[in-house]
Amino acid sequence: MSERRARRRPGENRERLIEAGLIEFGLFGFHGASTAAIAARAGVPQPHVYSNFINKQALFLETCAAATRMVLAHERRGLRTHASDGTGGHPQRAAPALLADAERTILQALTAVSAPQLAADLITLLSGFREAYGDADFEQVYGSAGVAMLDHALERE
């Protein structure tokens, strides 16, 4: 007889899905990532994705928001965003790996900023992120292509 896993605390599945989303969306983008892979990586049944988020778009947007908060929090602590220093910690993953996932997710958000179903929310999120991060630092970390993608989306709005 198999043992039942311990009950998770409220909100833990949502946190796990966002963390798994950082990896999957960071690697495969909005269109390439699947909710099944995210659920599997999070260790939750796929229906839990939709009990926590109305759709894949909502999960992506919340994951992108979490990514920007992580990078900004890391930067505010006076650490470079490329987490090669090994500082910090996370209950499930090492801080450098989690931060790298967050940075990749932001890059994927920049590539998705012109997608019609995501544009309005991503433009708001990424514009606020760039302002908080600083234009020069944003360009240094996300490159002139990242700046150009966001600027192009802002011009179209």
* Nearest by Cα to 33 from 45, 22, 44: 22
137 domain residue, yes or no: yes
pLDDT at 12: 86
In our burial notation (b when 16+ CB lie closer than 10 A, e otherwise), range 46-75 reads eebbeebbeebeebbbbbbbbbbebbbebb
Residue 57 lies in a domain: yes
- Give me the helices (H) in the chain, please: 12-32, 35-42, 47-52, 56-76, 95-112, 119-133, 135-156
Question: Is 36 contained in some domain?
Answer: yes
Domain of residue 55 covers 12-78+95-156
Q: Is residue 86 assigned to a domain?
A: no
Q: Which residue has the higher pLDDT, 88 or 155?
A: 155
Sign of the CA dihedral 28, 87, 126, 56?
positive
Which tops the pLDDT comparison, 94 or 117? Answer: 117
* Joined tokens for residue 86: 């090994």
Residue 69: the pLDDT is 96
What pTM, to 2 d.p., does this model score?
0.83
CATH assignment of the domain containing 61 = 1.10.357.10
Position 4 pLDDT exceeds 80: no
The encoded tokens of residue 119 equal 């544009």
1 lies in some domain: no
Give domain status of residue 65, yes or no. yes
84 located within any domain: no
Closest of 37, 7, 44 to residue 22, by C-alpha: 37
Instruction: Give me the pLDDT at residue 10, please.
Output: 59
**Does residue 121 fall inside a structural domain?**
yes
Q: Could you give the number of structural domains in the chain?
A: 1
**Total number of residues shown for the chain:** 157
Q: What is the pLDDT of residue 95?
A: 79
Alpha-carbon 112 to chain mean position: 12
Q: 28: which residues sit within 8 A by CB, 6+ positions away?
A: none
**Furthest CA-CA distance within the chain:** 61
Quick: pLDDT tens for 63-115: 999 999 999 998 887 654 443 333 333 344 557 888 999 999 999 999 999 99
Average pLDDT over residues 23-32: 97
